[in-house]
Structures are given as structure tokens and as C-alpha cells.
Structure 1
């Protein structure tokens, strides 16, 4: 997976979803295919009551740092800091291949958008759990990308939006599935079909 740190399949205190146990000897492709098959298919829920403020981010990570700084440091090259804050470096947006030479040009994207999560189960979560989801560094949920690609994506799922970098489709599908599996979010039938098609590039 190229979008974020490798997925940890054990449960963590920051992430309240289930821990999936792959069959002994399963390959990564088999694991993600199993995860996709186990996702619950349902119609997209209502957007009634949604706002980004119900998913508070970015959380403080100490020493005047926050989760955004953590992602910038993880995903960048030649990163420089002022104290804890990331002030320079180079980032390659995996969605469109753009090379970004300043942290101010970088967006931190939620692979599964907050609005999509709301429609697929998060509307019933507690505020604390939504905050955990929005600041999730334990799954491939947060990734540094270009602002233009992030705006283009919006809250769309893979049935209506995919990275323009087709070489990223496999990893994008794997990451999307990993996040939805960990957080027990539903998928639409069109979304599941699109994910299966993208996995064929793996």
C-alpha cells in the first residue's frame, strides 16, 4: 500500500473497529479480497445532520504539533521542521503524480471521506469515535496529496472517482477496503464493484 503506513491488523486504542484475522498463510491479495467480501453492502445513508465539525481534526500530538504534521513528516522527503512543525520538504501526490515543494501546497486527505463515512455508518457513532476516525494514523486513512486532486475527489467513492494516476488504483482500493473493514463501514453495490475492478490491477 503506497498511500499511508502499512495497515496494522491488531486493535488499537485510537481505532475502535474490529481486528480482522486472516487465515493462516493468506497472501496480502487474499486478505484484501476477503476483507472486501466481508463488507456489508447497503444503500448510502442520509446526509441529514452531517457537518465536518462532527469529525474534529487535527488532534494535538504534543510540542505544538498535530496529526497533519505527523502525516507530512511520514509522507515527505527531505522534511525540515521548526520545533515540531513541518516547514519544508517534498511530497509526491499519489493521486495525480504532482510534486509539491511546500507543506502549504499539501492537503491531507481522508482516503474514506468524512461525508462518505457519515453515509455508511458514522452518523450513529459517538463524537469521540468520529474524532478517532478523522485522526486515524493506524490505518491507511490519511495521505498527503495535491489540493487539486483532493478537491476533485470531494466525498466521492471509487464508483465515481479514481486517482488520475492509474498505477495507484490497486493501492487506493486496498487502502479504501482496509479502512472500511477496520471501521465496519458499509459499501454500496456500485462501490464494491468498482473496488473489485481496481483490485484486478494488483
Structure 2
């Protein structure tokens, strides 16, 4: 965590921030010591959440492999649709599907928030790559900033968390690589505030850290959009909300537990006894 604290009279206190974090993310938080006597808030500003992230140097990339974050596009919510198609269904409009495969997107239209362009998606060997799914916090970046200490289950949840995923222009995704906010931002400046706010939320959710350069870059962007909220979920174009709980503590903190099969947020990974009800205790 940075050595300096906000001046007296700043709009937040440690107790207020921690209460808001507990409301958003449950017990899966970076270490923050504070009296939590204040009633939890339903929202927290991204700039306030950024203050809670530890600031450290980048760890070596040694040992990183994509497989350490689970199978590529695993069906973690057990809805019969892999994560790539879940996100295409969330982010595209005018969708058509492969015959006999209800969740597999055949065609659609992406209003790409990274570039500000419109992309017509057509599924195919040579065309599917025109729209790729970006990890807002790249897997390699996460590996070098704390994910080495996560379990395989936690890394799989990270790699498939809708909050950390965004359909975008394929070449732009390749250009980003594993860049963090200090080295890469979306060309469409109007999306940068939401983009870094999601990075902050993801890093808080999975107890990851930021480098000093990354912290300063995020703080600089958020200074241009005071009041930017730190999202806990990402709304779909239909105004429905993709609900994902990394663990039962999050579901309990959100007041959603227990979760039943077929309800928002339920997935088999949270249902230890497989009885169709998760996070009961």
C-alpha cells in the first residue's frame, strides 16, 4: 500500500472504504486494518478502492503457463456454454446461433468499446479471430502480481470471471498483450475510466497488487472522472446483469445466499454437495 495517505478532509475513511469493499467482495480482500463500525455501502469509488491495493514490484514471469489458469474458456458456471460464448452473448447484438447449438454464436455485431468501431462477427476458421475476448487484467500480468499464490480453482475463476472479460477487436487484443495500465490503455479515451475501474475491482477481488507506475497511471485516469464506481458486475446490453461470485463469502456479503440452480450467480463450483443449493451455510 502507498506510504502516503490522503490529506485531512478527503472524502473517504478507512472504515468507510473497508465496509464498502466487504459489501462488494466479501472476505476475499487485500489486507486492510480498520474499525468496520460504519454501515456497509452498496458502492465504492474506484479511486478509493485503488488506495487499498498493495504497491509492489513486478515478480518474475518464471513458471507462467496459460494452463495454470485452468482449461481455456471452461464452462465454469455449468450452463452448457463455454465462457467465450457467454461473453459473446453478453457483448454482441443481432446474434444468430449455430443450428442445434443454442449458445454458440454464429454471427453478431460488436460495438467495440476499446476502439469505438463496429465489428461484424462471423464464426469461422479464418474469421472468428476478428473478435477476441480480452482479459481486462491479463493472465500474465496477474501471475506477476500475486496470482502465483492463488489456487488453481481461484485462477480458473479469475480467467473466466465476466468482470475481467471484454469482447474486443482481435488485432487490438493482440497489441495489448499482457500490458497493464502503465503500458496500454484502450485507444477510445471515453472507455478508459471504466476500463481501469474494472482492473481495480478485479485486482481487489483476487488480492493482486499493482506496480507504482501502474498505480499512478490508473490514478491519473480516474482523476479525469471523479466518482467513477468500482463495478462488482458488468451489465449486458439488454440491461440484464452477469452475476458471478468468486466464492460463497461474496454471495453472502451481497445478500444473495443461498444460491439455487438456475438462479443468477449459481454454479456447481460453489455447490459442494451437488444438491442444487450453493452457499447454504
Which of residues 165, 169, 173 is equivalent to 1:142? 165
1:73 is aligned to 2:96: no
Task: Give the corresponding residue for 1:49.
Answer: 63
Q: Which has the higher contact order (CA 8 A, sep 6+)?
A: 1
Q: Which runs of 5+ in 2 are unaligned?
A: 1-22, 123-127, 226-281
Which of residues 144, 152, 159 is equivalent to 2:175? 152
Deviations 1:38-89 (A, max 9, x none): 0000000010100112112201255752011110000111122232211111
Task: State the aligned residue count.
Answer: 187
| Partner Cα distance (1:10, 1:186) in 2 | 16
| Partner Cα distance (1:67, 1:191) in 2 | 28
1:9 is aligned to 2:13: no
Task: Give the corresponding residue for 2:49.
Answer: 35
Which of residues 114, 136, 159 is equivalent to 1:111? 136
Larger radius of gyration: 2
Could you say what secondary structure the match of 1:100 adopts? strand
Which of residues 74, 90, 113 is equivalent to 1:59? 74
Query: Could you tell me how far 1:10 is from its partner in structure 2?
Result: 4.3
Equivalent pair of 1:96/1:146 in contact (CA under 8 Å): yes
Equivalent pair of 2:58/2:211 in contact (CA under 8 Å): yes
Query: Could you tell me how far 1:25 is from its partner in structure 2?
Result: 8.6
Aligned ranges 1:75-90 → 2 under 5 Å: 75-82=91-98, 83-90=102-109
Query: Could you tell me how far 1:126 is from its partner in structure 2?
Result: 1.7
| Partner Cα distance (2:86, 2:111) in 1 | 16
Could you say what secondary structure the match of 1:73 adopts? helix
| Partner Cα distance (1:107, 1:70) in 2 | 13
Could you say what secondary structure the match of 1:155 adopts? coil
Task: Give the corresponding residue for 1:97.
Answer: 116
Task: Give the corresponding residue for 2:190.
Answer: 167
| Partner Cα distance (1:81, 1:147) in 2 | 21
Q: Which runs of 5+ in 1 are unaligned?
A: 1-7
Evaluate the alpha carbon distance shift between residue 163 and residue 63 of structure 1 in structure 2; reply closer, same or farther with a 3 A threshold: closer
Equivalent pair of 1:64/1:85 in contact (CA under 8 Å): no
Query: Could you tell me how far 1:184 is from its partner in structure 2?
Result: 0.9
| Partner Cα distance (1:90, 1:178) in 2 | 27
| Partner Cα distance (2:90, 2:96) in 1 | 12
